[in-house]
């Protein structure tokens, strides 16, 4: 069971927000910082006001904030994004089998509480705490009262998705069990150019990448990299057509509305990079990334014409070149995609934490997670063997 707070509970005021607009943007951003763009107040506001995160879409805002002080002079000292969810879409830490098990036993898995960045499987801070506060007390407070609130809402569980490792460890110590995952990320080893990066590859694999890039050039496809302030309304409109296409081919509606992209374009342009592919003067594909203080986050992509290796060039190689040019240290390309390994993206572990209200299911899921972690760690170790780097570099990477 989660531990009780050791501090003085009456000094903390924990409240839940059904809209990001209920908290001052400057106060929120002062805690969230600018390094990781997805925690900015503007990002959540764009999601909410564009209709992308609502009760209708299954992402009802329910953010948790902790304040201190008298009622008229309370100061925000901690925050955590939180959503009341009636599905598991757009999370990328898959618990569909858990929901099915609940259903087979005549129980409701939904609603549930989820601490996450909607539709964004990019690890980062999930609990932001003022520097003058005792972080351990805040973790204890949340690990006690979030489950209590879940029970009041008849929510089966609380899930913290893609936190930083120290957050995962802190919650684990308080009884919120951890889960391990694996993604693929590119790391800048102070490269001077793309060829410098390819210099780490074995000869055969280096030739493969050059052939892929040459194939795109031979097709007459050119690229424009447009940073946020320079993205035109026409380019946003084209990009949204590309983004929609990735969902329509699967018979699904897109998670994000067109209005969302217009809003982030105005609210946080300094955090955006749009890569557009053009053939014969017409845009045919695009990829949108977010730019943090030292990391490029690849997020959305789509195309209206199919060409071999177009996805790799638009989503990966152009992004790598941008990271090298701007001195960014990492390229987080999102969830899944084993094909990234042979293109120099290294397997890295990711984390989540899970509180399950039903004791029997909590015990069963705990056993599952322990077995899953062993598999994930073996997989990560084996995946290093498929990196394209020369043997001596592969050993260094491990």
Query: What is the b/e burial string over 189-227, where b = at least 16 CB atoms within 10 angstroms of the residue's CB?
Result: eebeebeebbebbeeebbeebeebbebbeebebebeebe
pLDDT digits (tens, 9 = 90+) for 266-281: 999 999 999 999 999 9
With CA atoms as reference, report the closest residue to 45 among 64, 65, 29: 29
Query: What is the b/e burial string over 16-29, where b = at least 16 CB atoms within 10 angstroms of the residue's CB?
Result: bbeebeebeeebbe
- What is the mean pLDDT of the segment spanning 91-110? 97
- For residue 374, what pLDDT band results from cuts at 50, 70 and 90? very high
With CA atoms as reference, report the closest residue to 177 among 9, 38, 362: 362
What is the model's pLDDT at position 4? 41
Query: What is the b/e burial string over 66-84, where b = at least 16 CB atoms within 10 angstroms of the residue's CB?
Result: bbbeeeeeeebbbbbbbbb
pLDDT higher than 50, residue 2: no
- For residue 93, what pLDDT band results from cuts at 50, 70 and 90? very high
What are 162's two structure tokens?
């893609």
- For residue 28, what pLDDT band results from cuts at 50, 70 and 90? very high
- For residue 72, what pLDDT band results from cuts at 50, 70 and 90? confident
Q: How far apart are CA 300 and CA 274, in angstroms?
A: 10
pLDDT higher than 60, residue 398: no
Q: How far apart are CA 62 and CA 60, in angstroms?
A: 6
pTM: 0.94
pLDDT higher than 90, residue 317: yes
Domains and CATH numbers, the chain: 9-178+351-385 (3.40.630.30), 189-328 (3.40.630.30)
pLDDT higher than 50, residue 35: yes
Least confident of 128-137, 246-255, 273-282: 246-255
Least confident of 74-83, 297-306, 313-322, 331-340: 331-340
Q: How far apart are CA 378 and CA 384, in angstroms?
A: 10
- For residue 392, what pLDDT band results from cuts at 50, 70 and 90? low
Q: Do residues 297 and 290 touch, judged by C-beta distance below 8 A?
A: yes
With CA atoms as reference, report the closest residue to 82 among 362, 355, 299, 368: 355
pLDDT higher than 90, residue 86: yes
């Amino acid at each position: 069971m989660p531990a009780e707070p050791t501090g003085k509970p009456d000094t903390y005021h924990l409240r839940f927000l059904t809209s990001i607009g209920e908290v001052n943007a400057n106060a929120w951003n002062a805690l969230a910082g600018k390094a990781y763009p997805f925690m900015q107040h503007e990002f959540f506001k764009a999601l909410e006001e564009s209709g992308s995160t609502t009760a209708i879409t299954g992402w009802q805002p329910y953010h948790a904030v902790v304040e201190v002080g008298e009622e008229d002079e309370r100061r925000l000292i901690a925050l955590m994004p939180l959503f009341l969810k009636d599905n598991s879409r757009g999370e990328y830490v898959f618990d569909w089998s858990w929901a099915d098990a609940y259903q087979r036993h005549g129980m409701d898995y939904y609603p549930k509480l989820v601490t996450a960045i909607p539709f964004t499987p990019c690890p980062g801070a999930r609990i932001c705490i003022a520097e003058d506060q005792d972080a351990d007390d805040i973790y204890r407070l949340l690990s006690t009262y979030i489950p209590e609130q879940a029970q009041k809402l008849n929510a089966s569980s609380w899930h913290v998705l893609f936190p930083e490792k120290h957050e995962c460890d802190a919650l684990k110590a308080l009884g919120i069990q951890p889960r391990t995952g694996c993604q693929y990320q590119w790391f800048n080893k102070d490269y001077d150019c793309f060829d410098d990066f390819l210099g780490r590859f074995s000869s055969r694999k280096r030739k493969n990448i050059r052939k892929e890039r040459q194939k795109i050039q031979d097709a007459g496809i050119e690229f424009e990299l447009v940073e946020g302030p320079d993205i035109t309304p026409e380019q946003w409109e084209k990009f949204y057509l590309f983004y929609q296409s990735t969902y329509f081919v699967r018979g699904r509606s897109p998670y994000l509305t067109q209005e969302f992209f217009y809003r982030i374009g105005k609210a946080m342009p300094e955090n955006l990079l749009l890569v557009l592919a053009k053939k014969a003067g017409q845009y045919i594909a695009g990829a949108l990334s977010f730019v943090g203080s030292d990391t490029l986050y690849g997020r959305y992509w789509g195309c209206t014409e199919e060409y071999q290796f177009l996805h790799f060039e638009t989503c990966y190689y152009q992004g790598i070149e941008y990271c090298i040019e701007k001195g960014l240290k990492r390229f987080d390309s999102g969830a899944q995609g084993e094909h990234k390994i042979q293109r120099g993206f290294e397997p890295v572990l990711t984390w989540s934490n899970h509180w399950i209200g039903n004791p029997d299911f909590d015990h069963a899921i705990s056993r599952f997670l322990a077995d899953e972690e062993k598999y994930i760690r073996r997989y990560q170790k084996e995946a290093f063997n498929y990196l394209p780097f020369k043997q001596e570099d592969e050993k260094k990477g491990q």
